[in-house]
Structure 1
Amino acid sequence: MPNFDTTIETYLTHLHLGPLPNLIMRALTDMYTFRGLVLIPILWWIWFQPGERRNWNREVVIATVVSGLLALFVGRLLADFLPFRMRPIYDPELHLHFANSSSNDARLSNWSSFPSDHAMLWMAVATGIFVVWRTAGILAIAYTALFICFPRAYLGFHHPTDLIAGAAIGIVITWLMTRAPIRTRYATPTLHWMERFPGPASVFAFLLCFELVTQFDELRRLASAASKAL
Structure 2
Amino acid sequence: MGWIQQLDTTAFHFINRDLSNPLFDRVMPWLSWNRFFIPALILVLGYLFWHGKARTRIFVIVLLITIAIADGLVANPLKQLFARPRPFVSETGVHLLVGEGRSYAMPSSHAVNWAAGATVVLIYGGTRYFLFIATIGIFVGFSRIYNGVHYPTDVLAGYLIGALSALATVNIIDVTWRYAGKRLFPTWYQILPSLKNVVVHANQFPNKVDPTLENLQWLRLGYLLIGITLLFRLWYIAKPIIELSFDEAYQWIWSRHLALSYYSKPPMIALVQRLGTLLWGEYRTRGEIFSRQC
Same fold (TM over 0.5): yes
**DSSP-derived class of the 1:140 partner:** helix
- Which of residues 161, 175, 179 in structure 2 aligns to 1:181? 175
Match for 2:79: what amino acid? A
Give the deviation of 1:176 after TM superposition: 2.3
Match for 2:153: what amino acid? T
Q: Tell me the distance in 2 between the aligned counterparts of 1:14 and 1:49.
A: 47
- Which of residues 160, 165, 170 in structure 1 aligns to 2:157? 165
Q: How does 1:181-220 map to 2 (within 5 A)?
A: 181-182=175-176, 184=178
1:116–1:131 Cα change, 3 Å = same
Give the deviation of 1:23 after TM superposition: 2.3
**DSSP-derived class of the 2:31 partner:** helix
Q: Tell me the distance in 1 between the aligned counterparts of 2:175 and 2:56.
A: 16
Greater Cα radius of gyration, structure 1 or 2: 2
1:74 aligns with 2:74: yes
* Residues 62-117 of structure 1: per-residue CA shift (max 9 Å, x gap): 2221111111121111112x23211112213xx3331536xx42xx2x42111111
Give the number of the structure with larger relative contact order, counting CA–CA contacts within 8 Å between residues 6 or more apart. 1
Match for 2:175: what amino acid? P
1:74–1:58 Cα change, 3 Å = same
Q: Is the 8 A contact 2:119 2:166 kept in 1?
A: yes
1:161–1:115 Cα change, 3 Å = same
Q: Tell me the distance in 2 between the aligned counterparts of 1:79 and 1:117.
A: 9
Q: Which residue does 1:6 correspond to in 2?
A: 9
Q: Is the 8 A contact 1:43 1:129 kept in 2?
A: no
1:60–1:91 Cα change, 3 Å = same
Give the deviation of 1:158 after TM superposition: 0.8
Q: Tell me the distance in 1 between the aligned counterparts of 2:179 and 2:42.
A: 23
Q: Is the 8 A contact 1:68 1:125 kept in 2?
A: yes
Q: Tell me the distance in 2 between the aligned counterparts of 1:187 and 1:66.
A: 17
Q: Is the 8 A contact 2:145 2:151 kept in 1?
A: yes
Question: Superposition RMSD on alpha carbons, in Å?
Answer: 3.6
Q: Is the 8 A contact 2:112 2:162 kept in 1?
A: yes
Q: Is the 8 A contact 2:110 2:141 kept in 1?
A: yes
Match for 2:78: what amino acid? L
Q: Is the 8 A contact 2:74 2:165 kept in 1?
A: no
Q: Which residue does 2:112 correspond to in 1?
A: 120
Larger helix proportion, structure 1 or 2? 1
Identity %: 22
1:187–1:142 Cα change, 3 Å = farther
Report the TM-score when normalising by structure 1.
0.69
* Residues 30-55 of structure 1: per-residue CA shift (max 9 Å, x gap): 32424x455555444443455xxx32
1:149 aligns with 2:151: no
- Which of residues 15, 24, 28 in structure 2 aligns to 1:25? 28
Give unmatched runs, 5+ long, in structure 1: 205-215
**DSSP-derived class of the 1:178 partner:** helix
1:16–1:79 Cα change, 3 Å = closer
Q: Tell me the distance in 1 between the aligned counterparts of 2:84 and 2:168.
A: 28
Report the TM-score when normalising by structure 2.
0.55
Give the deviation of 1:172 after TM superposition: 1.4
**DSSP-derived class of the 2:165 partner:** helix
How many residues end up aligned between the 2 structures?
A: 196
